[in-house]
Amino acid sequence: MQWDDMRIFLFVARHDSLSGAARALKLDAATVGRRIARLERGLGAVLFTKSPQGYVLNAAGQRFLPHAEAAEQAMGAAEDELRGQGDRLSGAIRLGAPDGCANFLLPQVCAGIIARHPDLEIQLVALPRVFNLSRREADMAIAVSLPTGGRLTVQKIADYHLHLAAHHAYLAAAPPLRDLADLGAHRIVGYIPDMIFDKELDYLGEIGVEKVALSSNSVAVQVQWLAQGAGVGVAHDFALSSCPGLVRVLCDRVSLTRTFWLIRHGDDRQVGRLNRFAEALCAGLRAEIQHLEAKA
């Protein structure tokens, strides 16, 4: 049994298809299929239920999965040990993050880490959804709420703050905004209600606002609408300094606090390079949030 065949098995298991695994591995699907067949012959067991819809682990595959994952962790630890680079980071690390964090915090934080570790490759996946680390969509992910299951480890990164905000040009032309009741006379910017993927992001629902004139599943789009003077919406304090003219409003009525969490696969606790990257990432994010919020 070859480790590379086990590695391909893990990719197929996580992508539920030969084609998805092939794209991730940068191989052709036929090669992936042959390698799975070779592994199954070597084990004397069929590992997947195959259908036009894809490849799904059967009972034998489910039993084999934890052994393949253990081998993956052992190989990662061995590579980490043999690099012999002390505290220097190298290789690729894929990080998942919600788009607000990805757009307004991580570019400068990751640039600082890369400057100190030029052999490192950071792949930032910025999507407005929850990442599935069990399927190895990323090596680690930043989240705004605690996970509810899975073999995961969780580390608090930092609290951050949000307020209602609008552009001063919008406020100059719009009706007075002295209390929450006045929001009914204003255009509201926020999330598409049925695309709020995490309850922690339902800011407007928390303050009783129901009608949203301009909605997007992207924080960056919402902030740009506010910067264009399109209306009033909840914005991260750390995003305000990137858009001159945006100001906080009704601060004595609306002040929200949320938390960024770093989520990792439980089996990665012994992988030194991931531990060192996580430490640098969390320290950088804490410092950047503090810096930007002080400017809001």
To the nearest 10°, the Cα dihedral for 20, 21, 26, 31? -110
State the CB neighbour count (10 A cutoff) for residue 30.
10
| Nearest of 123, 113, 135, 118 to residue 10 by alpha carbon | 135
Q: What is the pLDDT of residue 175?
A: 95
Give percent of the chain above pLDDT 70.
93
pLDDT at 60: 92
Mean predicted lDDT score pLDDT of the chain: 89
Rounded to an integer, the average pLDDT of 231-259 is 96
Q: Where are the domains of the chain?
A: 3-68, 91-157+259-295, 159-258
In this prediction, residue 254 carries a pLDDT of 94
Instruction: Name every residue whose Cβ is closer than 8 Å to that of residue 128 and which is 6 or more positions away in sequence.
Output: 98, 99, 195, 197, 217, 218, 219
Question: Is pLDDT of 156 > 80?
Answer: yes
In the CATH scheme, what is the code of domain 91-157+259-295? 3.40.190.10
Full-model pTM: 0.75
Identify whether the C-beta of residue 143 lies closer than 8 Å to the C-beta of residue 116.
Answer: no
CATH number corresponding to 3-68: 1.10.10.10
Beta strands in the chain (DSSP E): 48-51, 54-57, 91-97, 120-126, 140-143, 152-167, 188-190, 214-215, 232-236, 246-248, 256-265
- Looking at residues 244-261, what average pLDDT do you find? 96
Domains 91-157+259-295 and 159-258 belong to one CATH topology: yes
Residue corresponding to tokens 């503090």 = 290
Q: How far is CA 242 from CA 104, 164, 252, 258, in A?
A: 8, 16, 23, 20
pLDDT of 49 above 60: yes
Query: What is the structure's pLDDT at 138?
Result: 80
> Mean of the pLDDT values across residues 172-183?
95
Q: Place 135 in a pLDDT band, splitting at 50, 70 and 90.
A: low
Instruction: Please tell me which of 89-93, 150-154, 199-203, 217-221 the model is most confident about, judged by mean pLDDT.
Output: 217-221
Q: Using only C-alpha atoms, what is the Rg of the chain?
A: 23
Please determine, for residue 59, whether its predicted confidence score (pLDDT) is greater than 60: yes
Q: How does residue 74 score in pLDDT terms, banded at 50, 70 and 90?
A: confident
Q: Which CATH class is domain 159-258?
A: alpha beta
72 in Cβ contact with 136 (< 8 Å) = no
Q: Rounded to whole angstroms, what are the CA distances from 259 to 192, 209, 275, 289?
A: 22, 22, 20, 11
Q: Is the pLDDT of residue 50 over 90?
A: no
Distance between CA atoms of residues 143 and 131, nearest Å: 8
Q: What is the pLDDT of residues 88-107, one digit of tens each?
A: 788 889 899 999 999 999 99
pLDDT at 266: 78
For residue 97 the two structure tokens come to: 């993050």
Residue 281 pLDDT > 80: yes
Q: For residues 29-53, give the mean pLDDT.
A: 90
